[in-house]
Amino acid sequence: MPEEAATRRPLFNTANLNRAPARLGLSAVKLLLSGGLIGYLVNRHGVHYDRFEGIDPVFSTITIAIVVLQIALNTVRWRLILRHVADTAPPYRRLFGVYYASIFLSQILPSIGGDLVRVLYGRTLGSTPGPLTISVILDRGLALTALLFIALLSLPFLNPFDQGNMVVRSVGLVASGGLVTAYGGCLAMRAMRVSRLWTRLPEWPRYLVISGIWALTSRTGMFRLIPLSAIVHLLSFVAILLAARTVHVPLTFFVVLAIGPVLLLAHILPISIGGWGVREAAAVALLGMTGIDATSALLVSIMFGVLLVLAALPGAVFWLILRE
């Protein structure tokens, strides 16, 4: 652990957590965006309602189980981060409950709202808002870093479907640029730590930078946290494939591997509620490249979203039990 990691944990000003009107306004905008996009896509392309009547219960149950497994693996990742950042290792069961509650609230609130819940469980987790906030930022950052790696690796699968190479070039640019920025930033911050400017920075940003360098470049980060995040994303691809099979849309794993990273990037963009609307628009565009009609693509995305919501519902129980 770096020297600064052994110092007093950074404080965190919680005053900004009380800006309820601004948060409500932003949530309203995101709700309108999600609802507007869903309404537009359904009105334009329609939905195969008859396929909902023939939903395969086996595939849907397996999909829900996979999502729960993802939450369990994400909890392992967050616990590793907390052990380093906050010098605490809460019981896995308690941490799993908090993470599950945040996933549930992320389905009905903007993603930041779900993450905020984890910070507010400080007393339950035996930590303070500062380290918890850093742990959540790192948890998100590691998931995104792993997804960018997978996006680069998926380009050969995407290339045959992208005749103009526009999507391939865009994904390659975003993924490589993001990774270069992340790891180049780590190198720059390492060099900056010997400068006078470093000592003038407030404690909280310094601790965030040090923890970020650890998460991306340490043995734990490179060989445990990022691979674990990659496994979670690959499970998302399997969940998308099974959601398609649930409504009898014939997707192959290679198709999902080609479009999956871009679809997940659209899903996690913090501009909608639970990814709704943005995910469906991306699915229509991406699956359309592979020969899937827009109505079927929309159906797959909606089914995937519905199964995510169903898998997240037990989080409401954890939220009620663990609520402080």
Note the pLDDT of residue 48: 75
Mean pLDDT of 197-222: 90
Note the pLDDT of residue 30: 81
What's the pLDDT band for 21 if we cut at 50, 70, 90?
Answer: low
* pLDDT averaged over every residue in the chain: 87
Percent of all residues in the chain with a pLDDT value above 90, rounded to a whole number: 60
Q: What is the pLDDT of residues 290-320, one digit of tens each?
A: 999 999 999 999 999 999 999 999 999 998 8
> Is residue 24 classed exposed, middle or buried when 0-12, 13-18 and 19+ CB atoms within 10 A define those classes?
exposed
Count Cα atoms within 13 angstroms, Cβ side, for 276. Answer: 26
CA distance 256 to 27: 30
- Written as one string, the DSSP assignment of 23-50 is HHHHHHHHHHHHHHHHHHHHHHH---HH
Among 79-93, 97-111, 202-216, name the one with the lowest average pLDDT: 97-111
Count Cα atoms within 13 angstroms, Cβ side, for 58. Answer: 2
User: Six-digit token pair at 153?
Assistant: 């690796």
Does the structure show a pLDDT above 90 at 215?
yes
Lookup result for tokens 């043995």: 219
Rg (CA), the chain: 20
* Domain boundaries along the sequence of the chain: 56-322
User: Six-digit token pair at 242?
Assistant: 């099974």
What's the pLDDT band for 121 if we cut at 50, 70, 90?
Answer: confident
Note the pLDDT of residue 201: 83
Does the structure show a pLDDT above 70 at 22?
no
CA distance 201 to 265: 32
End-to-end CA distance of the chain: 31
Q: Are 4 and 210 in contact (CB under 8 A)?
A: yes
Q: Are 251 and 312 in contact (CB under 8 A)?
A: no
Nearest to 85 by CA among 184, 179, 186, 225: 225
Cα torsion 176, 179, 183, 189 to 10°: value is: 100
User: Six-digit token pair at 118?
Assistant: 């984890």
What's the pLDDT band for 47 if we cut at 50, 70, 90?
Answer: confident
What's the pLDDT band for 176 if we cut at 50, 70, 90?
Answer: very high
CA distance 64 to 283: 20
Kindly report the length of the chain.
324
CA distance 246 to 250: 10
Note the pLDDT of residue 4: 42
